[in-house]
Amino acid sequence: MTVHNAEVATAFEEMADLLEIEGANPFRVRAYRFAARTLRDLPDEVGEMVATGHDLTSLPGIGDDLAGKIKEILATGTSAALEAQRKKVPATLTELLRIPGLGPKRVKTLTQELKIRSPSELQKAAQEGRVRTLAGFGGKTEQHILKALAARLAEAPRVKRAVATPYAEALVAYLEQASNVSRVIVAGSYRRGLETIGDLDILVTAPAGRTVADRFVAYREVRDVLAHGETKASVRLQSGLQVDLRVVPQESYGAALLYFTGNKAHNVVLRQLAQQRGMKLNEYGLFRGDKPVAGETEESVYAALGLPWIPPELREGRGEIEAAKAGRLPHLVDLQDLKGDLHAHTRATDGRHSLSEMAEAARLRGWRYFAITDHSRRLTMAKGLDSARLLQQMDDIDRLNATLSGITILKGIEVDILEDGSLDLPDEVLGRLDLVVGAVHSRFNLSQRTQTERIMKAMDHPHFSILAHPSGRLIGRREPYDVDMLRIIRKARERRCFLEVNAQPERLDLTDIHCRMAKEEGLLLAVNTDAHSRLDLEHARFGIGQARRGWLEKADVLNTRSYAELRKLLKPTMEG
C-alpha cells in the first residue's frame, strides 16, 4: 500500500480536530496541525524519504514522537493513537468538521449545548432555529450552516488541486514508462487549473491494443477497477480519487485533448463554429464529411476554425472565443515572470524557518526581492509581533540585507484589520516599514455593508499597501465573508494600494472571477505565497494558476516589476 503525504497530513489534521473537540492541550493540537502542514508542503514523498533513511526529525515541527507516527501511518495507513482518539469522539462528529464554517470549537459547542452528534441532527436543529440561540452563532451563521449542508448533499466530493497534484504527477510518470506510449497528459478541470478536482482525466497516445489500459489498472494504488476496455479504463485509487483513462491514436491527440479538457460551454461553441463552416468536431478530429481536416494538435483544430490557440485556463465559456476572434486574448502571466514575493512569515510568529533561512530560499528561486510580513500582536495564537519586536526584526532585516547580494529583503507586517477598520499597530511603527499587508482575521460574520466599510476604512490608512486574502475563504472549510468586492477593488485603485492573490492551496484568494474584475478595473494584484516555511514558496505556481484563470497578464501583477519599479509603486501608498 502506498501512502502519500496528503494522507499522512489528513490523519494528523483529523487527530488535531479530535483532540480539540475533546479539549486537549492546545500545544498538542498545534503540534499536529504544524506537522500536517509540513507534510503537505514537502516537495518529496515522505515514504521515499523514510525508505532512503532520511531523518524525519530534521523536518520542521517533527519530533521523535511524530516521526514514529508518520512511519506507522506509512506502514499501516493509520496510527494506534488516531484509532484510540476516534473511539473517544463519535465518528459522526468528524462529519460535522467537514462542513464549511464549523471548526472544532463550534462543533464542541454544538455537541455540549444541543447534544448534536451528526449532520442530520445539525440540519434539524438549524431548521428549528435552535442553532442561532448559541453564543457565537446567530441567525446568519445558522443560515450559512443550512446552505452548506444542502450544498454538501448536492455535490460530488472534490479535492483541492494541490492534493490531487502528487497523484496526477505520479500516475503520469508511471504511464510514461510504457515503451509504446508517446504522450501522457492530465486533461479536464485539472488542466484548466480549477481550485478543486472531482476526478482526474488522463489522455494517452499509443498504438491500438490493451497494453496501456492493462498497465493503468495494474497501478499499485488502484483500489477498484470501475471499467477496463482497450481504449477506456476507469479506476478508484486508495485515496478515493477516481481516475479515467482514454487512449487515442496520434492523429486524434489534439481533438481528444481539446474535448477532454473542456469545459462543456467552450466545447459547445467550438462545435457550433465547426457546423457554421460545414464541418463536424468531436473527440476524434475535425471533419468535412468523412475527410479529416485537423486533429493531431489543438493548434490545428483552432486554426481550422479561424482561431488562435486558447490557453486551457481560459476555456470556461466566459468570452474567450469572442476575444480570440477579435485578437484580444491575453498573454497570460507565467511563473517565471515573478520577481519576488510580498507576503511571507518566519518563526518569529507562526512560521517554521528563520529570517535568514526564508531569505536564502527566496534567493535560490531567483527572486530579486522578498517581503517578511509576520503577524501583528492581535494574533496571539501566532505569537504576533508588538511594536518592540517588530522594530527589532526591522533591525535584523537591515543587518541581513547588508550581507546579501542579488536579493533585497523588504520590511513588512501582516497587520490585523480590527473591527472598526483601524490597524493593529501604531502609525509611527507602520510608517517605518517598506509595506503593510492588511488582513481580516476575525469577525467574519459582519454584514456586507459593515465588512466592506471596515476594509475600506483600513485602506484609507496612509501606510496600507496590500489587502491579504481579500475574501477570507478557506476552500471547503470556511465560506468567504460577505463583502462587496467591486467596491473594495475600486477603493484600492483610488487609494493606489493593491489586493493579493493568495497562493496557499486552501485559500487561492482572490477567485478567478475577482481577478478578472480587478484587471478590468485597472487594479494591480500581487501573487503572494503567504509562506510559513521555505517549502511554501513552491505554492507560487498555484497562485499563478489562479491569476491565469483570471485572465491576468504580466503587466497586471504587481510583483512582476523590478525592485526599482516596485518601490515607486509602493511609495505612494506609504506616503498617503
Q: What is the pLDDT of residue 450?
A: 96
Peptide bond into 282 cis (omega under 30): no
**Domain 5-154 carries which CATH code?**
1.10.150.110
Provide the pLDDT confidence category of residue 575 given band limits of 50, 70 and 90.
very low
CA distance 141 to 157: 23
Which of these, 38, 49, 52, lies nearest to 6 by C-alpha position?
Answer: 38
100 touches 94 (CB < 8 A): no
* 249, amino acid identity: P
pLDDT at 449 over 90: yes
Q: Which pLDDT band, with edges at 50, 70 and 90, does 169 fall under?
A: very high
One-letter amino acid for residue 370 of the chain: F
Percent of the chain's residues with pLDDT above 70: 97
Q: With b meaning 16 or more CB within 10 Å and e meaning fewer, what string describes 106-121? A: bbbbbbeebebbebee
Q: What pLDDT score was predicted for residue 114?
A: 87
Per-residue pLDDT of 486-495, as tens digits, reads: 999 999 999 9
What are the sequence ranges of the domains in the chain?
Answer: 5-154, 159-248, 256-325, 335-575
Q: What pLDDT was estimated at residue 576?
A: 41
Q: Which three cell numbers stand for residue 41?
A: 508542503
The amino acid sitting at 318 is R
List all residues 6 or more positions away from 120 whose beta carbon is below 8 Å from its beta carbon.
none
**CATH topology of 5-154 equal to that of 159-248?**
no
Strands 498-502 and 525-528 turn out to be parallel
Q: Which of 313, 310, 314 is nearest to 302 (CA)?
A: 310
Q: Residue 1 pLDDT > 60, yes or no?
A: no
* pLDDT digits 0-9 by tens, 509-561: 999 999 999 999 999 999 999 999 999 999 999 999 999 999 999 999 999 99
pLDDT value, residue 99: 77
Pairing of strands 466-467, 498-502: parallel
CATH fold of the domain at 256-325: Beta Polymerase; domain 3 (3.30.210)
| 66-114: pLDDT as tens digits | 999 999 998 888 888 988 888 787 656 667 777 777 777 888 888 888 8
pLDDT score recorded for residue 382: 67
Q: Which CATH superfamily is domain 159-248 in?
A: Beta Polymerase, domain 2 (3.30.460.10)
Q: So what's the pLDDT on residue 462?
A: 92
Q: Tell me, what DSSP letter sits at residue 480?
A: P
Residue 90, pLDDT score: 65
C-alpha cell at 481: 465573508
pLDDT for 445 equals: 85
Return the CATH fold of 335-575: TIM Barrel (3.20.20)
Confirm if 498 and 513 have CB atoms less than 8 A apart: no
- What is the percent of the chain with per-residue pLDDT over 90, rounded to a whole number? 64
| Mean pLDDT of the 32-49 span | 86
Cα angle 30, 33, 39 (rounded to 5 degrees) comes to 140
Q: What is the pLDDT of residues 283-333, one digit of tens each?
A: 999 999 999 999 999 999 999 999 999 999 999 998 999 999 999 999 999
Give the pLDDT confidence score for residue 574 in this predicted structure: 39
pLDDT value of residue 504: 94
What stretches of 460-539 show up as alpha helix (H) in DSSP? 485-495, 512-520
Q: How far apart are CA 56 and CA 49, in angstroms?
A: 8
Q: What is the mean pLDDT of the chain?
A: 90
For range 256-268, the mean pLDDT: 93
Q: Report the run of H or E that residue 429 belongs to, with start and end.
A: helix 427-430
C-alpha of 238 from chain center: 23
**Residue recorded with cell 446552505:** 147
What are 114-133's pLDDT values in tens digits? 888 777 788 888 888 998 98
Q: Which of 352, 418, 350 is nearest to 385 (CA)?
A: 350
In the prediction, which pLDDT does 392 show?
97
Q: How many helices (H) and strands (E) does the chain have?
A: 24, 17
pLDDT score recorded for residue 493: 96
Average pLDDT over every residue of 183-211: 92
Other C-beta atoms within 10 Å of 80: how many? 10
Please tell me the predicted confidence (pLDDT) of residue 378. 86
DSSP string computed for 287-326: EETTEEEE-SSHHHHHHHTT-----GGGTTTSSHHHHHHT
Cell numbers 509581533 label which residue? 385
CA distance 126 to 129: 5
Retrieve residue 445's grid coordinates. 460574520
- pLDDT of 161 > 60? The answer is yes
Task: With a cut of 50, say whether residue 433 has pLDDT above it.
Answer: yes
Tell me the HSE value of 18 on the side-chain side, using a 13 A CA sphere.
Answer: 20
Name the more confident of 136 and 466: 466
